[in-house]
Structure 1
Amino acid sequence: MADTATTASVAAASAANASTDAPPFQLGKPRFQQTSFYGRFRHFLDIIDPRTLFVTERRLREAVQLLEDSKHGTLRPGVTNEQLWSAQKIKQAILHPDTNEKIFMPFRMSGYVPFGGTIVVGLLVPHQKLASPVFWLWLNQSHNARVDYANRNATKPSPMSKFIQGYLGAVISAVSIGVSLKVLVQKANKFTPTTRLLVQRFTLLPSIASANICNLVLMRYGELEEGIDVLDGDGNCVGSSRIAARHALLETALTQVVLPMPVLVVPPIILSMLEKTALLQARPWLLLPVQSLLCLAACGLALLLAISLFPQMSEIETSQLEPEIARATSSPTVVYNKGL
């Protein structure tokens, strides 16, 4: 009788899974292939989904419990692949993959567009006084510093003193670079007011890109000193590698260069064209709402393009790592969490 009930439960679960388009669930594995840009794009589309910001504590506990049941083979009958993928999406969006601790809402990747996009609007609004861009540059790099720290590789403990040192260095470098470029533009008397405004908007690109890299390196410098854990094909840690840490920071730095491009280039171009339309000339109060929408859309697109360049769990040949790590495993490649 028990065998009949078990068979019926398995059949019901199979039928439920067959009724969806979701691929078979694999615990801890991405739903979409990470070997292609499109697969990573779809994967990170789930990661930055702002709807996960509204997941309740109870729903998070249920998602984590469902994944634990899957891990131990104790799933209740009728649970579908779609439900399991949804549970994993919620967990990945809210909990850090290395520490399993909740990431504070504004510093999650799913919070980057609603929180970071608002700051970008402040950066792109024309400023008459120097204090205004200084404030927005400080706020932008403060937000970036916390995002970098919250989504770092956390396989090694990092003291708060290092975070404070890195934060101060990152903010000072960011504000110094941004203000220096702005002052240079303001002193360029040969530009017409319109041209000067456009140049001021575009000078944000090199200043923020370079500041982002300074921010990243200073916030995660501890990884270069102590290394990060590398895992074999079975998920076992085979050592801590400084070489893997350099690869992780290089990949993340490239995303930091790409990230501000669409945000700081596309909205000013579109807005400069829209400003000439009869609609906005007759209703100048619409400029700020239009600019805000453009910035939020560009911010979402830029984030997806940037973080999709590399998989979060990156792979490296064991022969490229330290000799002691190469001797510790027979696996030809190992993986590491590069952070986001």
Structure 2
Amino acid sequence: MAAVLQQDLDDDGYPPFRLGKSRFDQSTFAGRYRHFLDVVDPSTLFTSDAKLQASIQLLDDYKNGTLSPDTTNKQLWQAQKIKQAIIHPDTGEKIFMPFRMSGFVPFGAPIVTGLLLPNLTLKGTVFWQWINQSHNACVNYANRNATKPTPTSKFLLGYTGAVTSACTIATCLTLLIDKAKKFNPATRMLIQRFVPFPAVATASVCNVVLMRFNELGEGIEVEEKDGTVIGTSKIAAKRALTETAMTRAVLPAPILIIPPIVMAFLERTQFLKKRPKLHLPIQATVCTLAFAFALPMAISLFPQFSAVDVSILEPEIQAATSSKQVVYNKGL
């Protein structure tokens, strides 16, 4: 989407509505970040059924050319935001609330807090890693591309691989730290807090690779900028999977690294030493804020619809178009 000029905005600060498009410039990181802030906005979780149906009807009226002349761009953009947050684009069904992208922060923050609890036992570490990967797997499945049937075996393979890798890495690191006699108890506890990051990052990459591995063999659709599909490309699939895997590796970093640093600092203050009961709610708040910041930042690293030079794609793709670039959907 081309950058919107200031004079193109209406009195409410909204650009002209375009069905199925973002109201922010997707060619810049800032535009993508603002777009995904909308996507993960938890306020849509409280949308009533009546409001949802009204939003769907408004968009249908726009599509059919029967829109009331006093309808504003703001109303249309808000209606699209609500529908996209709740309704699966392929199945047309409501996504279960805990597994919506808009529910990822409020439902995922307690899990992150559990992962970063101080003095976790080995059983506690394995439990929270299992809960985290189970939640991630359900979110991935609920927001999957459903244009083609997804075998249950593929979902179970990704889930098993993610849980196994996360629990194995976390267990090995925990045991290694416990046996490191050179660290004093305080240092050992601080290092222990950083165990979740490599475990979660590795498991997240493992999950997305296993779930989407078939794309490397089958390819993904590439299309011209007007939306015309010109074929499937394995090269584009490899780029899409690489970008998505990088996103999943980066996502846990701020969530699982910033809170331990902040909490290590706060625990040294007299305020928290005198009020130990506030430790858990403060940690939960820090984790939630880090989560809310990191999620849209990570998924904004690459455009969801990326352009690629036709010259580096398969010969059959090059023969099918005169365009210098085509577009593919990398997924989330």
**TM > 0.5:** yes
Report the counterpart of residue 213 of structure 2 in structure 1: 221
Any conservation in 2 of the 1:155–1:229 contact (CA below 8 Å)? no
How far residue 196 of structure 1 moved from its aligned partner, in angstroms, is: 0.5
The 3-state SS of whatever aligns with 2:18 is coil
Q: CA deviation at 1:128?
A: 4.5
Q: Give the structure 1 partner of residue 4 of structure 2.
A: none
Counterpart AA for 1:324: E
Cα distance, 1:322 vs structure 2: 2.4
Counterpart secondary structure, 2:193: helix
Structure showing greater Rg: 1
Taking the TM superposition and a 5 Å limit, the aligned residue runs for 1:114-125 are 114-125=106-117
Q: Given that residues 153 and 338 in structure 1 are in contact (C-alpha distance below 8 angstroms), is that contact kept between their aligned partners in structure 2? A: no
Amino acid of the structure 2 residue aligned with 1:234: D
Distance in 1, matches of 2:309 and 2:85, equals: 29
Are the structure 2 counterparts of residues 190 and 213 from structure 1 closer, same or farther at C-alpha, using a change threshold of 3 Å? Answer: same
Q: What residue number does 2:5 align with? A: none
User: In the alignment, does 2:52 pair up with 1:60?
Assistant: yes
Instruction: State how far apart, in whole Å, the 1-side matches of 2:57 and 2:328 are.
Output: 26
Q: Deviations over 1:85-110 (max 9, x none)?
A: 11111122223344444322222211
Native 8 Å contact 1:230 1:239 kept in 2: yes
Of 112, 133, 136, 1:141 maps to: 133
Does the 8 Å contact 1:149/1:219 carry over to 2? Answer: no
Partner of 1:326: 318
Could you tell which deviates more after superposition, 298-307 or 50-59?
A: 50-59
Deviates more, 1:18-27 or 1:35-44: 18-27
Contact 1:313/1:337, CA 8 A, preserved across alignment: yes
Structure 2 partner of 1:301? 293
CA distance in 1, matches of 2:93, 2:305: 19
- Quote the offset at 1:281 in angstroms: 0.8
Question: How far apart, CA to CA, are the structure 2 residues paired with 1:56 and 1:313?
Answer: 31
Q: Which runs of 5+ in 1 are unaligned?
A: 1-16
Give the Cα separation in 1 of the matches to 2:90 and 2:322: 24
Given that 1:213 and 1:253 are in contact with CA atoms closer than 8 Å, whether structure 2 keeps it comes out as yes
CA contact (8 A) 1:156 1:228 kept: no
Is this contact kept in 1: 2:225–2:326, CA < 8 A?
yes
2:151 maps to 159
1:275 aligns with 2:280: no
The residue that corresponds to 2:23 in the other structure is: 31
The match for 2:6 is none
Matched length: 324
Q: Is the 8 A contact 1:153 1:337 kept in 2?
A: no
Residue of structure 1 aligned with 2:223, choices 213, 226, 231: 231
Pick one of 105, 108, 115 that aligns with 2:100: 108
Deviation at 1:258, TM superposition (A): 1.4
Partner deviation per Cα, 1:179-223 (whole Å, 9 max, x = no partner): 111111111111111100111111322221111101111122232
**Structure-2 change in CA distance of 1:30 and 1:45 (3 Å):** same
SS in 2 for 1:202: coil
Q: Which one of the candidate residues 11, 32, 41 is aligned to 1:40?
A: 32
Distance 1:222 1:53 in 2: 33
SS at match of 2:17: coil
Deviation of 1:56 after TM superposition, in Å, equals: 2.2
For normalisation by structure 1, the TM-score amounts to 0.90
Residues 22 and 52 of structure 1: CA distance in aligned 2, closer, same or farther (over 3 Å): same
Deviation at 1:18, TM superposition (A): 4.3
Equivalent positions of 1:176-325 (< 5 A) are 176-325=168-317
The one-character-per-residue Cα deviations of 1:22-74 (angstroms, maximum 9, x if unpaired) are 11111111100011111111111100000111112332222222222222222
Structure 1 range deviating more: 229-238 or 185-194: 229-238
* 1:69 counterpart residue number: 61
* AA aligned opposite 2:216: L
Assess if the C-alpha contact under 8 Å between 2:161 and 2:203 holds in 1.
no
For residue 320 of structure 1, report the CA deviation from its aligned partner: 2.6
* Aligned residues of 1:185 and 1:200 also touching (Cα < 8 A): yes
Distance 1:244 1:105, change over 3 A: farther
Structure 2's unaligned 5+ residue stretches are 1-8
Q: 1:21 aligns with which of 13, 29, 48?
A: 13
Q: 1:250 to 1:110 in 2, by over 3 A?
A: same
Residue aligned with 2:74, SS: helix
Q: Quote the offset at 1:176 in angstroms.
A: 0.8
Percent identical pairs in the alignment equals: 59
Task: Give, as a single letter, the amino acid of the residue that structure 2 aligns with 1:255.
Answer: T
